[in-house]
Amino acid sequence: MSTTRLAGVLAFLLGVFVLVPLFINLTGRWDFYYTLTSVALLSVAAAGVWLTFYIGRINIGQGAYALTGGYVSAILITQYGVSFWLTLPLAGLFCAAVSVLIGLPILRLRGVYFAMVTLVLTEVARLTALALPVTNGAKGITSIPLPGELSLFGLTIIPDFSTLGNPKLAFYLMATVLMVLTYLVLWRIVNSRLGHLCRSLQQNEELSASIGVNTAMLRVLAYAISSFFGGLAGAIFVAISQSIYPSSFVVQDSVNFMLYCFLGGLGYVFGPMLGTLLLYFGWDLLSIAKEYQLLIYSGALIALMLVLPNGVLSLLDKKGGRK
Amino acid sequence: MEQILANGLYLGAQYALIALGLTLIFSLMNVLNFAHGQMYVFGGFVTYTVVAQLGLPFIVGLIASAVVLAVMGALIEKFLFRPVIRKSKRDESTMLLAAGIAFFLDAVILLLFGEKQRGVPKIVNGVLNWDMRIIMPYDRILIAVLAVALIVGFILFMQYSRTGRAMRALAQDRMAAQLMGVDVDRYSMIGFALGAMLAGLVGGLLVTITGINLGMGGPTSVKAFLMIMIGGAGVISGAIAGGFILGMMESVGLTVLAAYGDITYLVIFASLMVFLAIRPQGLMGKPWG
Amino acid sequence: MTPILQIKGVTKRYGGLTANNDITFDVAPQEILSVIGPNGAGKSTLFKQIAGFVTPTTGEVIYKGTKISGLPPHKVARMGVVRTFQETTIFKSMTVRENVIVSHHLRSKASLLGFFFGSAQAKADEAEFGKSADDIIDFLGLQAIRNETASNLPQGHLRALGMAIGLATHPDVILLDEPFAGMNHDETMRMVALVRRLRDERGLTVLLVEHDMPAVMKISDRIVCINFGEKIAEGSPAEIQANPRVIEAYLGSEDAAIGM
């Protein structure tokens, strides 16, 4: 790892874990915690969408997995008394398993066809949540307890959130740690052989098969990892809002995940993180514009598209930088 | 039974018209127009404004919807899609643009027309009652007939007019069409305008029956995607088939599955997944359109 | 000598259309064998069936005594039979070297998880891929464009890169789809020399589909001619040139002439 890159990573970590809490403490803008926690979680889900883009598939179905992950966590906590911390990986794994079943047939589709099917998938998830008895229909699942204590061999690693004076900060730290881990994994995938193979798939699936890549398996694997991230993010969202409804993640959210990836830049690992930050924060800041919020937001989106059709991070390319 | 069929045909005619516009844009430019539903809503509001607020006849409202949306479509193609398609590395970038336009139209609709549900007075009164087997208000019949007439008109236009033929050539093979001397930019613009116009016309037709509101844009787009997936994206006959099939499925589902709660759409989606797993290109599409 | 590849009665029908009808021939180890025939004779379909992209309706393809027809392409490639494509046979937004390295997939001993965590085996694999890729790049004379992005390359280099990708899988049998198409005389002669070296220096068995008759006559040990999906002749270049059925097949079609 080059020194500049190392310095960049350290600066990022310093900013996220020291400067932001400091800034919020000084200004008293506690609401920023909620915004930034959301950004961190959304960027985890967006990281998954980005990975499907990386194998050449337009994924507009991440909302389905976020919803599924949320419900899995909520049901396990409220009905089976499972610890929140255990439901996190379970929610991710459940989503990954579901995505393997769904992915096997639909990943054969390409381009716009795959995009449309995934879009429909979000709607399927919502309708399923409405129809199933275990999800409690439109009433959803509410008053889910805050995350409890996580201890290992009697040693408390994470205290019970309900005993904390400031659960907002705790959620912020949890979400950002998860985000850092997610992007570490994503970065590693992209820069290891797995990523190279994904790129080969993105660029020429037939050739990829003829050099001996099991393309069907690789596609499903990437999609499963993607859905794992989606489920994880969904489960934490539920922990924060302490409730989940069939409409907690809808088509709009799925489209947004895709937009985050596009805006940041599909060729850059940290594109979805930047895209999420810009769009979510931008939207939040624009709330001062009241009824013109959506107009300005979408106008800016279109303008960005015209100026930088390959994403914000493509600015770096002109200076000769790489991802 | 007859009632279900009649409802299905009525729904199908409008759905087919929506899907036609979407598939036309897709086949010409390989753009999945996320804003299609919003264009439909916009068309509805234009008719509402002309008919309910200015007090002009319905047909004037319908024409106004068509003209406004056609101009809007042409401008969107020329100033937004064309430059982005030219500059971007990946075709998918147009999806972001389309989604941005969908948001933008939502915002414009909100500012111009507000969030209230709007409708216009019935254009014809009375109900057809055929021996209690089919009961259908006359205005619905009129709208369905108009929709079918528009579909037929559109097919004839695509089949026999010079412009229609040029667009079909373009849809089949962009490169070859260019070599044959088809002005690609011009016909892309006309095609987009035509697609938007169709969306606007359906909006204008339906505002007389179901009314229109801001929230209808997104779901309408999703339904339109469903239809062209069923029929095969980029194929005119596929869009029409997809529209009627979805209309029929909805009509049958709402009656047959009513006992099990609101699961019609869940069943439709699930069967679509299975169908696409077997036949990924839809009923009439080319593989990987 | 025992054949390395046997095509046994391969037939492919699409609906009512017969693309290949009962085609049978053997390929000896380290042989350069060309499949020729007028446009639409079914040559590409035959190649696709050998490489596993299409399953024969009846008949089979035997490689070193094992049936490979019906296996998916990545399994066929794993066994040592690799096809290069006619046109854009490359990963276009990777550099030349990245293209060749990624194509070493079959050589990897480490698992994907091993690569993810950077295990010792994975590191050894990566080092080996790099070395082998450089080796192949040198072999094909692509040193100067090693770090160019593939989409910026001219046609001639693309063809060579396609071959490099094929070589990276370390096949025993390589299927070349029209390697001389669109090349001028000098380029063709260079490519002919290269294909020879594939066999002489790397010990490959080469199967090729080609239209350029002078090149085919020059390069092939044996030639199989198909017309309307059926094999009409098989033999040495001299025998094929003298075969009345071949001449008839080519005279009957308007766009190719047999070179003498």
- What pLDDT does B156 receive? 92
C-beta atoms of A204 and C91 within 8 A: yes
How many beta-carbon pairs under 8 angstroms link A with C?
85
- Paired strand residues for B129: B135
Mean pLDDT, rounded, for B88-106? 83
How confident is the model over A206-244, as pLDDT tens digits?
Answer: 888 888 888 899 999 999 999 999 999 999 999 988 899
A277-304 per-position pLDDT tens digit: 988 888 888 888 878 888 888 888 888 8
DSSP state of A192: S
Last residue of a domain, one of C170, C193, C210: C170
pLDDT of residue B287: 52
**What pLDDT does B194 receive?**
94
pLDDT of residue C31: 93
Within a domain: residue C75? yes
Once rounded to an integer, what is the mean pLDDT over residues A53-62? Answer: 90
Q: What is this structure's pTM? A: 0.84
Band (pLDDT 50/70/90 cuts) for residue A154 is: low
Cβ distance of A130 and B269 shorter than 8 Å: no
Give the integer Cα–Cα distance in Å for A125 and B251. Answer: 22
* B240 Cβ neighbours under 8 A, 6+ residues apart: B16, B19, B20, B151, B231
Contacts of B222 in chain A (CB under 8 A): 119-120, 123, 251
Q: Which residue among C103, C116, C168 places its CB closest to the CB of A194?
A: C116
pLDDT for the residue numbered C87:
59
| DSSP per residue, B200-247 | HHHHHHHTTTT-B-GGGHHHHHHHHHHHHHHH-TT-HHHHHHHHHHHH
Residue A164: is its pLDDT beyond 80? no
Question: Which residues in chain B (7-46) have CB-CB distances under 8 A to chain A?
Answer: 26, 30, 32, 34
B127-130 and A155-158 beta bridge pairing: unpaired
CA pair distance C54, C69, nearest whole angstrom? 8
How far apart (Å, rounded) are the C-alpha atoms in residues B43 and B66?
7
Confidence of residue B261 (pLDDT cuts 50, 70, 90): low
- Per-chain mean pLDDT for chain C: 85
More confident residue, B84 or A221: A221
The tens digit of pLDDT for each residue in C37-95 reads 887 778 888 888 898 888 899 999 999 989 998 888 888 888 889 887 665 578 888 88
Same domain, C8 and C70: yes
Nearest CB to A58 within list B95, B110, B265: B95
Mean pLDDT across chain B: 86
Q: Which range among A46-60, A127-141, B123-137, C87-101 shows the weakest confidence by mean pLDDT?
A: B123-137
Tokens representing C239? 């025998």
B30-58 average pLDDT score: 91
Q: For residue A250, is pLDDT > 70?
A: yes
Calculate what percentage of chain A has a pLDDT beyond 90: 28
Chain A residues closer than 8 Å to C89 by CB: 207
In this predicted structure, the answer to whether residue C96 has a pLDDT above a threshold of 80 is yes
Contact at CB, A109 and B280, closer than 8 angstroms? yes
How confident is the model at residue A1, as a pLDDT?
55
Closest by Cβ to A199, choosing from C88, C94, C103? C94
Domain ranges of chain A: 3-318
Note the pLDDT of residue B289: 34
> Are residues C71 and C191 located together in one domain of the fold?
yes
Residue-level pLDDT at B253: 84
Chain A residues in contact with B32 by the CB 8 A cut-off are: 112, 115-116
Contact B101 A119 (CB under 8 A): no
Question: DSSP strand E in chain A: where?
Answer: 150-152, 155-158
Q: Are strands C230-235 and C222-227 parallel, antiparallel or unpaired?
A: antiparallel
CATH top-level class for A3-318?
mainly alpha
Give the DSSP letter of residue A148: -
Mean pLDDT, chain A, whole residue set: 86
Assess if residue C211 is contained within a domain.
yes
Give the residue numbers spanning the domain of C148.
Answer: 90-170
CA distances from B202 to B46, B109, B151, B244, C177 (A): 12, 17, 11, 15, 51
Per the CB < 8 A criterion, the answer to whether A54 and A217 are in contact is no
3-state secondary structure of B124: coil
Identify the band that residue B191 occupies on the pLDDT scale cut at 50, 70 and 90: very high
Would you call C194 exposed, middle or buried from its count of C-beta atoms within 10 A (0-12, 13-18, 19+)? middle
Confidence of residue C260 (pLDDT cuts 50, 70, 90): very low
Q: Considering the domain boundaries, does residue C85 fall inside one?
A: no
Check whether residue C68 and residue C192 sit in a common domain: yes
Which residue from C214, C163, C166 is spatially nearest to C188, judged by alpha carbons?
A: C214
Cβ contact, residue pair C105, A213, below 8 Å: yes
Q: What is the mean pLDDT of residues B51-57?
A: 90
Kindly provide the residue ranges of all beta strands, DSSP E only, lying in B48-178, ordered along the sequence.
Answer: 127-130, 134-137
Helices and strands in chain B: count of H runs, count of E runs? 12, 2
**Hey, is the C-beta of C196 within 8 angstroms of any chain A C-beta?**
no
Pairwise pLDDT comparison (B100 vs B179), residue with the higher score: B100
If one counts the domains in chain C, the total is 2
* 3-state class (DSSP) for residue C147: coil
State the pLDDT confidence band at C255, using cuts at 50, 70 and 90: very low
Instruction: Write down the pLDDT at residue C86.
Output: 61
Q: Are residues C41 and C14 in the same domain?
A: yes
* Residue B14 contacts residue B206 (beta carbons within 8 Å): yes
Residue in A59, A298, A317, A318 to test binding to B, most B beta-carbons within 10 Å? A298
Give the dihedral of Cα atoms B96, B101, B102, B107; nearest 10 deg: 130
Mapping DSSP to helix (H, G, I), strand (E, B) and coil, where does residue A246 land?
Answer: coil
* C150-199 pLDDT, tens digit each: 888 887 788 888 888 888 888 899 998 888 887 888 888 888 888 899 89
- Confidence class of residue C252 from pLDDT cuts 50, 70 and 90? low
pLDDT band at C251 (very low <50, low <70, confident <90, very high): low
What is the domain-level CATH number for residue C75? 3.40.50.300
Give the model's pLDDT for residue C258. 45
Predicted confidence at residue C256, as pLDDT, reads 47
Q: pLDDT tier at B216 (50, 70, 90 boundaries)?
A: confident
Q: Write the ipTM.
A: 0.78
Q: Say yes or no: C31 and C108 in one domain.
A: no
Tell me whether residues C74 and A188 touch, CB distance under 8 A. Answer: no
Whether residue C176 sits in one domain with residue C259: yes
Report chain A's terminal Cα–Cα distance, integer Å: 13
Poorest-pLDDT segment among A111-120, A233-242, C116-125, C245-254: C245-254
Question: Which chain A residue's Cα is nearest to B219?
Answer: A251
**C-beta of residue A62 within 8 angstroms of C-beta of residue A48:** yes
B254: which 2 tokens?
């709402």
Cβ distance C80 to C20 under 8 Å?
no
- Element (H or E) spanning A23, and its range? helix A20-27
In DSSP notation, A100-146 reads: HHHHHHHTT--HHHHHHHHHHHHHHHHHHHHH-TTTTGGG-B--PPP
pLDDT tens by residue, C3-47: 899 999 999 888 778 888 899 999 999 999 999 888 777 888 888
Q: Is residue A169 pLDDT above 80, yes or no?
A: yes
Q: Is C111 helix (H, G, I), strand (E, B) or coil?
A: coil
> In terms of domains, do C43 and C102 share one?
no
Which residues, numbered 94 to 113 in chain C, qualify as contacts with chain A under a Cβ-Cβ cut-off of 8 Å? 94, 98, 101-103, 105-106, 108, 110, 112
The beta-carbon neighbor of A251 closest among B80, B111, B218 is B218
The one-character DSSP state at B54 is S
Average pLDDT for A35-54: 92
C128 shares its domain with C72: no
